[in-house]
């Protein structure tokens, strides 16, 4: 695969020098006695930095919707999409292939 790299004129010397340095470093590493060193996937020890999962009370529906721009039937509402739908968004939606009719229940300010 390396033979297929397209190099600009003059880049060959630059990359040849870098590759020679890498190979020389590998040769030096292979001279070390590593039999007493266990194999490892990490250079530094990995520690779990996550907190314990402690159950806490959930937000009430009123608290969850307190900062929502609008709420419809106990759910957060968002502006209607301008995307055309191939089928209704919900089973009771009257929008058909046009804009989803579910958006009709949203506030007129949108």
Instruction: Convert the pLDDT of each residue in 51-107 to its tens digit.
Output: 888 888 998 988 988 888 888 888 888 776 665 555 545 555 554 444 444 555 544
DSSP state at residue 50: P
**Model pLDDT for residues 10-46, shown as the tens digit of each residue:** 888 888 899 999 999 999 989 989 888 888 777 787 7
Exposure on the CB side of residue 52, measured as CA atoms within 13 A: 3
Nearest residue to 88 (alpha-carbon basis) of 73, 69, 101, 70: 101
Length of the chain, in residues = 110
Q: Residue 50 to residues 4, 47, 54, 74, 94: CA-CA distances in angstroms?
A: 45, 9, 12, 33, 47
């Amino acid at each position: 695969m390396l033979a297929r790299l397209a190099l600009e004129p003059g880049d060959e010397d630059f990359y040849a020098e870098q590759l020679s340095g890498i190979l020389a470093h590998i040769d030096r590493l292979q001279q070390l006695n590593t039999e007493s060193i266990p194999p490892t996937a990490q250079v530094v020890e990995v520690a779990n930095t996550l907190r314990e999962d402690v159950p806490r009370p959930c937000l009430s529906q009123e608290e969850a919707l307190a900062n929502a721009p609008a709420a419809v039937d106990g759910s957060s509402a968002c502006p209607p999409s301008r995307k055309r739908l191939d089928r209704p968004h919900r089973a009771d939606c009257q929008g058909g292939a046009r804009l989803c009719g579910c958006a009709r229940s949203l506030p007129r300010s949108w």
